[in-house]
Amino acid sequence: MTANAKVAFQNEPRTSINLFGRFDDLGHHGLPARLGIMGGTFDPIHIGHLACAEQAREAFNLDAVIFIPTNIPVFKQDRKVTSAADRLEMCKLAVESNPAFDVSALEIERGGETYAVDTLRELRAFYPENVELFFITGADAVAHITRWKESSEVAHLAQFIAVTRPGFSLTAEKKEEIEQGGLFKVHYLEATSLAISSSDLRERVSKSKSIRYLTMQRVRDYILTKGLYQEGVE
Ligand code: ATP
Ligand code: MG
């Protein structure tokens, strides 16, 4: 996309948040709705992400969960991230069997460094007020939300669902620090945890080890067909 085309694109009113349009109607008929947002680099997406989103959906009666892969993750600039197109495609392949899940290219289309506050603002402007936004994170990611850009605006735009993740415990003091005296509304979910990470999948592929059952079969096929992650972990 040229610089001019990008400016034109950003100035156009957005008519659809979702590539498939599956959940664009949420709340538009006056019915209250609860929308989960699962942000991440998804390099690659794995069953830890999927189980985390599904259990959050179930526990908090979410009508839908949209997975939004980051464009340039601000906290991961120390390593080479797989192309946005590949990460987006893997997310689509991973969620297609769940009618309550979808993927949005919102952050990728916006371009540049990704900040949750921009995404939440776009979602808030697009959906009517009767749609509540719930940002789903693992216990490791929620620990950083107070350091996100415009964190008090983030706290105002969405509630958080923090899902347990093996290796990352949240002490009472840490929770207090995250919530910042009630500024952030965080719901904690004790989920059936999976000690799986994208880093581990990348490393396994680079060592020619199996990733079968650690991600959806179609994602595994995509990784192997495209030869992703073969050059080793940086
Ligand atoms: P990496 O190892 O590259 O950091 P990751 O597995 O942590 O990858 P991310 O894309 O960084 O995946 O994470 C996206 C979101 O999913 C974060 O909120 C993270 O906490 C959450 N998450 C990832 N894996 C799990 C898991 N196994 N259980 C619970 N939450 C998870
Ligand atoms: Mg991570």
pLDDT tens-place values along the chain, 234 residues long: 444 444 444 445 555 665 446 898 899 888 999 999 999 999 999 999 999 999 999 999 999 999 999 998 787 767 889 999 999 999 999 999 999 999 999 999 999 999 999 999 999 999 999 999 999 999 999 999 999 999 999 999 999 999 999 999 999 999 999 999 899 999 999 999 899 999 999 999 999 999 999 999 999 999 999 999 998 654
Whole-number Å distance between alpha carbons of 96 and 142: 26
**Of 148, 87, 141, 140, whose CA–CA distance to 113 is shortest?**
148
Q: What pLDDT is recorded for position 127?
A: 92
Give the ligand with the smallest distance to the CA of 39: 1
Whole-number Å distance between alpha carbons of 117 and 71: 14
Helix H or strand E encompassing 173? helix 172-179
**Of 198, 196, 217, 213, whose CA–CA distance to 97 is shortest?**
217
> CA distances (Å), 168 to each of 41, 112, 162, 164, in order?
18, 29, 11, 7
Residue to mutate (ligand 1; options 37, 38, 41; most atoms within 8 A of CB):
41
Give the ligand with the smallest distance to the CA of 204: 1
> Is the separation of the CB atoms in 41 and 69 below 8 Å?
yes
Tokens of 21: 């349009």
The protein residue whose alpha carbon is closest to atom 6 in ligand 1 is 197
Question: Which atom of ligand 1 is the closest one to the Cα of 137?
Answer: 18
Separation of CA 39 and ligand 2 centre (Å)? 10
Whole-number Å distance between alpha carbons of 115 and 107: 8
Separation of CA 141 and ligand 2 centre (Å)? 7
Question: Which atom of ligand 1 is the closest one to the Cα of 38?
Answer: 15
CB 135 near ligand 1, within 6 Å: no
CB 163 near ligand 1, within 6 Å: yes
Tokens of 162: 């923090």
Separation of CA 122 and ligand 2 centre (Å)? 24
Whole-number Å distance between alpha carbons of 87 and 43: 6
Contacts of 103 (CB under 8 A, 6+ apart): 18, 19, 20, 66, 67, 68, 69, 88, 91, 92, 95
Whole-number Å distance between alpha carbons of 35 and 200: 29
Helix (H, G, I), strand (E, B) or coil at 100: coil
Residue to mutate (ligand 1; options 144, 145, 154, 165; most atoms within 8 A of CB):
165
> Is the separation of the CB atoms in 110 and 71 below 8 Å?
yes
Instruction: Write the single-letter amino acid at 81.
Output: V
The protein residue whose alpha carbon is closest to atom 22 in ligand 1 is 138
> Is the separation of the CB atoms in 152 and 182 below 8 Å?
no
**Of 115, 105, 95, 18, whose CA–CA distance to 53 is shortest?**
95
Question: Which atom of ligand 1 is the closest one to the Cα of 197?
Answer: 6
